Amino acid sequence: LDLRGLALAPGFVDIHSHAELSLLVEPRAESRVRQGVTLEVVGQDGSSVGPWSEAEARERDASYRERYGVELGFRTPGGFLDRLERTPAAVNVATMVGHGTVRGTVVGDDDRPATDAELERMQGLVRDALAGGAVGLSSGLEYTPGSFAGTDELVALASVLRGTGYPYASHMRNEDDRLLAAVEEALHVGRMAGVPVQISHLKCQGERNYWKRAPILELLEEARGSGLDVHYDRYPYVAYSTGLSNLFPPSARAGGSEAFVRRLQDPAERPALEAYARAKVDQLGSWDAVQVTSVASDDTAWAVGRKLGELAAERGEDPYELAVSLIVANDNSVGMIGYGMGEENTAAILAHPLGMICSDGGAFAPYGPLSGSSPHPRAYGTFPRVLGHYVRERGVMPLELAVHKMSGMPAAKLLLEDRGVVRPGAFADLVVFDPDTVADGATFTDPHRYPVGIPHVVVNGRVTIRDGEQTGALAGRPVRGRGAA
């Protein structure tokens, strides 16, 4: 490879990725490896590839077989890593175990505390996941069923990590009006459990909450100064991505999607649900701050990529009614983007010494079965956007610091030896980029676009991107934690 005039860096470690099952559908991982990612850390936001019950595993197997022609054939995070040994992808993969997945398997979708027996069983499943190679415990406290857990339950499960060095990574209970309390809860879990903390995609959502950036960062600095190993991650965009159902309270989603859809159509439930959703959207500014990214039914494909405010005006409908009709028509399988964060806050959060870079995105390609949705552009553009927009154009941090935040720093947080560094004896995960031209290409209206300025990527010593093109190499490996049996 001709590297004259180019920069050589460790391959990028995406510490908060959702590219798990999509790697089995499209193992070339084009949207990931072309932006320099060589290691995905999946199992985030409380959702991991197992542990599933036998019934749920069969249901997922049938779904992927029918939709993609792919056999899953596993029930646990360790089984997922075993599968990647047999059928590798273009990138390396490590996984956390998700609290929401564990709770769903043991307690179900009920809005209630776990019993002592259920808590013991959940702790056992977390231990099993660590023995299978998991590198931490994640929670998603805005999502069901994880949102139904109290703080004591989180402490009890995170305590299983004590002594391993692996973190409790939390999509916190709130990221807007109750953000400060949510940060305090995450820090409390870390202190009580005696484990490191990783706050997922730290943000101050809604303009009325932008001021909270300074006190939040002070909280984290104070916690760090008092001995708690705490960091956070963040993606370089002012919009987030989630399910459209997240406009509604967790209590409305108790019992699963079928129960949620029934509640949306229940005249007795409607006033409270509508008031909550409209208030949530008011916080973002308007219904034009809500954009549909994916639907399950081809009958509603016309909504993909469109903002609900604009779409409702075109159709002569109320945007709330349109949102409800989409959820009902798709059995609650509707994705959304919410434009809720500020540019200056984003820059400051990215540059802070405790912050790492993540995509919070999945794996896609502009062709094949993963091309049909309109994903958040972070799936294609996160790492080049940091290097191009925030480093070169805005100068919010030095190039060397940015590279460390997306390689050595996350690798060290997860105790991944010989990853995220360039040195003799380390794994040859490398990215070659042009500091003068590297840039993201994906946008919110045209997300399936590759970045520029990253001509070469090497994964485990094999050239995977050469002169900007995928070589077809599938050199990725499962990366197991130290607790693997």
Condensed to tens digits (0 to 9), the pLDDT of residues 223-271 reads 999 999 999 999 999 999 999 999 999 899 988 899 999 999 999 999 9
Q: What is the pLDDT of residue 372?
A: 84
pLDDT, tens digit, for every residue of 409-457? 999 999 999 999 999 999 999 999 999 999 999 999 999 999 999 999 9
Angle at 168 between CA 165 and CA 174, to 5 degrees: 160
What distance in Å separates the CA atoms of residue 267 and residue 260, rounded to the nearest whole number? 13
Q: What is the DSSP letter of 377?
A: T
Residue 484 has pLDDT above 90, yes or no: no
Any idea which fold 7-238+340-470 has? TIM Barrel (3.20.20)
Q: What is the pLDDT of residue 373?
A: 87
Q: 233 pairs with which residues across the strands?
A: 356
CB 12 within 8 A of CB 422: no
Q: Which residue has the tokens 């002012």?
A: 238
SS3 label, residue 49: coil
What distance in Å separates the CA atoms of residue 37 and residue 447, rounded to the nearest whole number? 17
pLDDT, tens digit, for every residue of 74-116? 999 999 999 999 999 999 999 999 999 999 999 999 999 999 9
Count the alpha carbons within 13 Å of 291 in the hemisphere toward its beta carbon.
21
| Residue 144, token pair as written in the block | 């069901």
SS3 label, residue 335: strand
Element (H, E) at 482: none
Q: Which amino acid, residue 184?
A: E
Distances (CA, A) of 82 to 77, 204, 214: 9, 38, 43
CB 134 within 8 A of CB 95: yes
CB 398 within 8 A of CB 7: no
What distance in Å separates the CA atoms of residue 83 and residue 349, rounded to the nearest whole number? 36
Q: Which of 88, 63, 39, 353 is nearest to 224 (CA)?
A: 353
Q: Where in the chain is the domain with CATH 3.20.20.140?
A: 7-238+340-470
Q: Which residue has the tokens 């991107």?
A: 465
CB 143 within 8 A of CB 17: no
Q: Which of 412, 394, 363, 433 is nearest to 23 (CA)?
A: 363
- The residue with greater pLDDT, 483 or 413, is 413
pLDDT, tens digit, for every residue of 456-478? 999 999 999 999 999 999 999 99
What distance in Å separates the CA atoms of residue 268 and residue 122, rounded to the nearest whole number? 35
What single string gives the DSSP state of each residue in 384-439? HHIIIIIIIIT-SS-HHHHHHHTTHHHHHHTT-TT-S--STTS---EEEE-TTT-B
Reported confidence tier of residue 385, pLDDT bands at 50, 70, 90: very high
Q: What is the pLDDT of residue 483?
A: 85
Mean pLDDT of 102-131: 98
Query: 112-123 as b/e, with b when 16 or more CB fall inside 10 Å?
Result: eebeeebbeebb
Q: Which of 111, 392, 342 is nearest to 239 (CA)?
A: 342
Residue 485 has pLDDT above 80, yes or no: no
- Radius of gyration of the chain measured on its C-alpha atoms: 21
